[in-house]
């Protein structure tokens, strides 16, 4: 048996699979998707088996055998291996990068030097005393290594610290040989566990048998009579207030058994989830549910775009659809944006499906995430809820994939592999015959477009058309909140320089009186809080990036958000020496300060990157808010999504147009989505809600439409704009970004690749393909970490092998990439154009 293996050689990534012999002993274990250690040059590296064959076209004598098999249950399925190939073709990345993205970080390989005894090795043949000295330790060392097959070199040297020279000699003589082992960064957690005897009746008799002074041992036996099940040693010790000696004594007598047992790090172990049962659906929900149910039962790939207003009960529809899927003995994946994977969300899924749910998100520790993931591999769960990468859950019978808030840009991974979870989900659904549900109150224009006539006509299994489902009202006829647009220019004219309009001020005050709650969104990113000299106009910029530095009050420092460069806050201008330094823009910290000035005693929770880095902090803040121990929740994007609190009756968006001014063709769409999402937090239950949107461009259609909850109106206007400018969804984009320390080389390279692209394009244009090459131009952020950045953009329409085209064009840069360290990054269907 021979295996083709994609190897992980970071210095020399390659898409080629290498051939290895499957040793007889591994035959039953190695399958497509197995993770193995294989010899590669002088080392052993990690790899993934992507094919198995009975024969080989190569000379079998020259092939090396697989050295290690790393897991008993392969971490990947044949379907995922195939998917990795698809990702590598579609998004232009190495196959190994795609494969690595599918497994948890804990399985990223680490390499260790081990030694083993070579029974036939040794220069003198046999294992006589190699130093020819009376060294009794030689046999001891060899036996120690033999017993464990291989031992880490460091461990061996530590254990036989006095015999380092001997170990060295044994290695030089070939009695011991070095082997490189692939190890996981993280392993299963184990704990010593006490097992009572098979027949617990004996315990009483043994207790009698013990001498009186063995009081502690008696205590243990007594406990085990009452609780005759295995218990963690540490737990037993703390319950009985005894030391391990007592238990060990019993183990020596053979009365109890002490054994290392794997334990799972369950991040939700300490929590109980109140079970919920399905709610009777509203007629709108029922209609949607019936469609999804039909699809799940049909066993065919079908994709639904569920456009349901905030609070229309999408989650309940998801839950019942998943139930249908589980009833069929199939599995379900639910994707949510990272920041909306709140305890509340988890509770709703755990409450309905209990321990059949695994949860994957980045706030778990490496170990916890690994253990959650292993529940999937071992088929202990059939539902997984997680952020983007959970789309790779190694299930084998997927019936349903749900992507909530499908418009979120975080579903696109920004580093290689630059995949979009939506497209990966659709690809997986095609293999599994599964249904895909894309849910949103504000579907992306890309998805909306695919419910249209043109998409239906050009549908392929790779790019199927979407079926549109809608839910237009909130459950129980609750009204959508009333939205007021506040023109901040008027406020300024009337002498109000505060960041709060008078209307919003009054509204907050009113909520404080009525003991209702407020959510305030400040959707400014860091760069809005720049530092400027009011005398000469100097702005503090990062010396390594083309970006202004951001002021952080807590550390009294100014920082670069791209490279982490930091310096102390300015007290005087470096250019003119003036002391009139001003920190511009309103970061969340400044809003918090102003709130406590305006409303003495107000209890504010601030949620932003600074206050939520600590593990569990996110949940802590939300729990405090939920328990109404705070009046106001202030934060960035992370307060806009997924929160469902009955006492929130007021929502304020402080700077609605800050996203609108970004140099990105999706700026209007993002603004509309964000305002709609945050407005959706208000009045979700009995109490009606009210929203204030503060803006300097109140006439902009994205703000007007959001204030009227008019998705349809916004979508049609925006579609028209996109069509006029040949932007997605009408055209598709590929962004090629080059970066290098020298501008000259960069410009030359940019021009070379653009010229080649244009040459290839003109051939295709002649054949009737719509394709346009733009650039090279400096990227919107023209320098990061001392490297300049240039970009080319391809706009095209229709189905074509765009990846193949880009690959051909980029090939002209091969030499510069190899010799001059030019970086080329290709982004297919980019979400961010910076």
Binding site for Zn ion (CB under 5 A): 533, 535-536, 538, 542, 544-545, 560, 562-563, 565, 573, 575-576, 578
Whole-number minimum distance, CB 366 to ligand ADP, in Å? 31
Whole-number minimum distance, CB 533 to Zn ion, in Å? 3
In the structure encoding, which two tokens stand for residue 158, read together?
């530590």
Angle at 405 between CA 402 and CA 407, to 5 degrees: 110
In the structure encoding, which two tokens stand for residue 237, read together?
């010790």
Smaller CB separation from ligand ADP, 310 or 705 = 310
Q: Which of 35, 314, 356, 722 binds ligand ADP (CB under 6 A)?
A: 314
Q: Is residue 542 marked as binding?
A: yes
Whole-number minimum distance, CB 287 to ligand ADP, in Å? 12
Task: Check: CB of residue 447 under 8 Å from CB of residue 303.
Answer: no
Smaller CB separation from Zn ion, 150 or 779 = 779
Task: Check: CB of residue 314 under 8 Å from CB of residue 306.
Answer: yes
Smaller CB separation from ligand ADP, 658 or 676 = 676
Whole-number minimum distance, CB 574 to Zn ion, in Å? 8
Indicate whether 281 belongs to the interface with ligand ADP (CB under 6 A).
yes
Smaller CB separation from Zn ion, 427 or 545 = 545
Q: Is residue 325 marked as binding?
A: no
Indicate whether 481 belongs to the interface with ligand ADP (CB under 6 A).
no
Angle of helix 802-810 relative to helix 743-766, nearest 10 degrees, comes to 140
Q: Which of 104, 313, 443, 750 binds ligand ADP (CB under 6 A)?
A: 313
Give me the residue label for tokens 């690959």.
Answer: 807
In the 3-class helix/strand/coil scheme, how is 283-306 assigned residue by residue?
Answer: HHHHHHHHHHHHHHHHCCCEEEEE
Closest CA to 251 of 220, 215, 211: 220
Closest CA to 162 of 192, 135, 124, 199: 135
Strands 604-607 and 632-635: parallel
Task: Check: CB of residue 3 under 8 Å from CB of residue 20.
Answer: yes
Smaller CB separation from ligand ADP, 399 or 642 = 642
Indicate whether 687 belongs to the interface with ligand ADP (CB under 6 A).
no
Stretch that binds ligand ADP, among 26-34, 279-287, 324-332, 782-790 (CB under 6 A): 279-287
Q: Is residue 563 marked as binding?
A: yes
528 interface partner picked from ligand ADP, Zn ion, none, CB below 5 to 8 A per type: none
Q: Is residue 533 marked as binding?
A: yes
Task: Check: CB of residue 653 under 8 Å from CB of residue 675.
Answer: yes
In the structure encoding, which two tokens stand for residue 119, read together?
């029974």
Three-state secondary-structure class, residue 229: coil
Q: Which of 217, 312, 677, 739 binds ligand ADP (CB under 6 A)?
A: 312
In the structure encoding, which two tokens stand for residue 444, read together?
């992306």
Number of residues that bind ligand ADP (CB under 6 A): 17
Closest CA to 192 of 236, 143, 250: 236
475 interface partner picked from ligand ADP, Zn ion, none, CB below 5 to 8 A per type: ligand ADP
Whole-number minimum distance, CB 565 to Zn ion, in Å? 4
Stretch that binds ligand ADP, among 212-220, 280-288, 592-600, 630-638 (CB under 6 A): 280-288
Indicate whether 475 belongs to the interface with ligand ADP (CB under 6 A).
yes
Smaller CB separation from ligand ADP, 310 or 791 = 310
Separation of alpha carbons 834 and 780, rounded Å = 5
Smaller CB separation from Zn ion, 582 or 708 = 582
Stretch that binds ligand ADP, among 183-191, 311-319, 546-554, 783-791 (CB under 6 A): 311-319
Strands 823-828 and 231-232: unpaired
Smaller CB separation from Zn ion, 357 or 558 = 558
Task: Check: CB of residue 343 under 8 Å from CB of residue 359.
Answer: no
Q: Which of 74, 75, 311, 689 binds ligand ADP (CB under 6 A)?
A: 311
- Binding residues for ligand ADP restricted to 283-302, rule: CB under 6 A: 285
Whole-number minimum distance, CB 642 to ligand ADP, in Å? 8
Residue 353: alpha-carbon gap to chain centroid? 23
Phi-psi region of 673 (alpha: psi -120 to 50; beta: other; left: phi over 0): alpha
In the 3-class helix/strand/coil scheme, how is 244-262 assigned residue by residue?
Answer: HHHHHHHHHHCCCEEEEEE
Separation of alpha carbons 301 and 725, rounded Å = 33
662 interface partner picked from ligand ADP, Zn ion, none, CB below 5 to 8 A per type: none
Q: Is residue 291 marked as binding?
A: no
Whole-number minimum distance, CB 548 to Zn ion, in Å? 10
Task: Check: CB of residue 386 under 8 Å from CB of residue 360.
Answer: yes
Indicate whether 282 belongs to the interface with ligand ADP (CB under 6 A).
yes
Q: Is residue 792 marked as binding?
A: no
Give 703: exposed, middle or buried? Use CB within 10 Å, 0-12, 13-18, 19+. buried
Indicate whether 310 belongs to the interface with ligand ADP (CB under 6 A).
yes
834 interface partner picked from Zn ion, ligand ADP, none, CB below 5 to 8 A per type: none
Separation of alpha carbons 814 and 44, rounded Å = 28
Separation of alpha carbons 816 and 830, rounded Å = 24
Indicate whether 316 belongs to the interface with ligand ADP (CB under 6 A).
yes
- Binding residues for ligand ADP restricted to 1-40, rule: CB under 6 A: none
- Binding residues for ligand ADP restricted to 639-678, rule: CB under 6 A: 644
Smaller CB separation from ligand ADP, 372 or 405 = 405
Smaller CB separation from ligand ADP, 306 or 754 = 306
Stretch that binds ligand ADP, among 83-91, 303-311, 588-596, 821-829 (CB under 6 A): 303-311
Whole-number minimum distance, CB 559 to Zn ion, in Å? 9
Residues 6+ apart with CB under 8 A from 653: 521, 523, 674, 675, 678, 679, 691, 692, 693, 694
Separation of alpha carbons 469 and 628, rounded Å = 36
Smaller CB separation from ligand ADP, 104 or 311 = 311
Binding-site residues for Zn(2+) sit at 533, 536, 542, 545, 560, 563, 573, 576
Binding-site residues sit at 533, 536, 542, 545, 560, 563, 573, 576
Q: Which residues bind ligand ADP (CB under 6 A)?
A: 279-282, 285, 308, 310-316, 475-476, 644, 684
């Amino acid at each position: 048996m021979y295996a083709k293996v994609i190897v992980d050689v970071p210095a020399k990534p390659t898409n080629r699979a290498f051939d290895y012999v499957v040793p007889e002993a591994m035959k039953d274990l190695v399958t497509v998707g197995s993770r193995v250690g294989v010899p590669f040059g002088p080392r052993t590296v990690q790899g993934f088996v992507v094919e198995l064959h009975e024969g080989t076209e190569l000379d079998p004598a020259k092939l090396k055998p697989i050295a290690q098999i790393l897991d008993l249950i392969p971490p990947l399925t044949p379907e995922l291996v195939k998917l990795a190939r698809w990702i590598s073709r579609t998004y232009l990345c190495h196959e190994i990068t795609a494969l690595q993205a599918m497994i948890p970080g804990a399985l990223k390989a680490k390499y260790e030097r081990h030694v083993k005894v070579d029974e036939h090795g040794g220069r003198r043949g046999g294992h006589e005393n190699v130093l020819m000295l009376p060294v009794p330790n030689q046999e001891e060392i060899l036996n120690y290594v033999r017993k464990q097959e291989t031992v880490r070199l460091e461990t061996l040297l530590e254990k036989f610290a006095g015999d380092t020279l001997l170990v060295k000699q044994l290695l030089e003589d070939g009695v011991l040989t070095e082997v490189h082992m692939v190890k996981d960064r993280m392993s299963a957690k184990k704990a010593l566990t006490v097992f009572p005897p098979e027949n617990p009746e004996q315990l009483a008799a043994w207790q009698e048998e013990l001498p009186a002074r063995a009081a502690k041992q008696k205590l243990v036996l007594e406990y085990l009579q009452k609780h005759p099940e295995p218990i963690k040693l540490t737990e037993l010790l703390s319950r009985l207030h005894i030391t391990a000696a007592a238990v060990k004594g019993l183990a020596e007598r053979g009365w109890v058994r002490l054994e290392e047992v794997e334990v799972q790090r369950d991040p939700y172990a300490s929590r109980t989830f109140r079970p919920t049962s399905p709610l009777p659906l509203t007629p709108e929900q029922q209609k949607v549910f019936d469609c999804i149910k039909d699809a799940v039962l049909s066993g065919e790939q079908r994709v639904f775009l569920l456009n349901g207003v905030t609070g229309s009960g999408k989650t309940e529809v998801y839950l019942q659809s998943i139930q249908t899927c589980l009833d069929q003995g199939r599995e379900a994946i639910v994707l949510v944006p990272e920041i909306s994977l709140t305890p509340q969300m988890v509770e709703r899924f755990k409450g309905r499906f209990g321990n059949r749910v695994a949860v994957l998100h980045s706030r778990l520790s490496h170990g916890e995430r690994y253990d959650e993931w292993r529940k999937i591999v071992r088929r202990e769960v059939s539902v997984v809820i997680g952020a983007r990468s959970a789309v790779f859950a190694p299930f084998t019978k997927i019936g349903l994939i749900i992507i909530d808030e499908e418009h979120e840009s975080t579903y696109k991974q920004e580093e290689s592999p630059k995949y979009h979870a939506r497209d990966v989900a659709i690809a997986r659904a095609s293999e599994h015959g599964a249904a895909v549900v894309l849910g949103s109150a504000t579907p992306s224009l890309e998805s909306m477009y695919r419910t249209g006539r043109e998409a239906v006509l050009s549908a392929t299994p790779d790019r199927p058309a979407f079926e549109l489902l809608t839910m237009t009202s909130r459950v129980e006829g609750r009204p959508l909140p009333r939205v007021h647009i506040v023109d901040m220019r008027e406020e300024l004219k009337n002498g109000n320089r505060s960041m709060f309009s008078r209307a919003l001020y009054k509204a907050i005050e009113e909520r404080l009186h009525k003991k209702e709650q407020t959510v305030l969104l400040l959707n400014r990113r860091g760069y809005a809080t720049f530092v400027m000299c009011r005398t000469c106009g100097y702005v503090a910029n990062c010396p390594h990036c083309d970006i202004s530095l951001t002021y952080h009050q807590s550390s009294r420092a100014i920082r670069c958000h791209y490279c982490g460069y930091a310096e102390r806050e300015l007290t005087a201008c470096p250019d003119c020496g003036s002391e009139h330094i001003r920190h511009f823009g309103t970061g969340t910290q400044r809003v918090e300060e102003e709130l406590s000035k305006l409303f003495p005693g107000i209890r504010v929770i601030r949620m932003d990157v600074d206050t939520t880095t600590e593990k569990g902090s996110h949940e802590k803040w939300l729990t405090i808010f939920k328990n109404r121990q705070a009046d106001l929740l202030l934060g960035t994007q992370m307060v806009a999504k997924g929160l469902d609190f009955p006492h929130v009756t007021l929502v304020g968006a402080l700077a609605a147009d800050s996203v609108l001014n970004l140099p990105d063709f999706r700026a209007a769409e993002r603004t509309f989505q964000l305002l709609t999402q945050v407005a959706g937090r208000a009045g979700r239950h009995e109490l009606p809600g009210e929203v204030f949107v503060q803006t300097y461009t109140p006439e902009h259609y994205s703000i007007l439409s959001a204030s009227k909850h008019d998705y349809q109106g916004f979508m049609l206007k925006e579609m028209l704009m996109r069509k006029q400018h040949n932007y997605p969804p009408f055209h598709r984009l590929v962004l090629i970004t080059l970066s290098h320390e020298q501008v000259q080389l960069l410009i030359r390279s940019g021009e070379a690749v653009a010229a080649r692209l244009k040459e290839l394009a003109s051939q295709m244009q002649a054949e009737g393909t719509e394709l346009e090459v733009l650039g090279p131009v400096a990227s919107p952020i023209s320098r990061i970490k001392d490297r300049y950045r240039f970009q080319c953009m391809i706009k095209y329409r229709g189905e074509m092998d765009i990846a193949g085209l880009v690959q051909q064009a980029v090939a002209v840069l091969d030499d510069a990439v190899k010799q001059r360290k030019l970086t080329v990054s290709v982004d297919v269907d980019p979400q961010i154009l910076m």
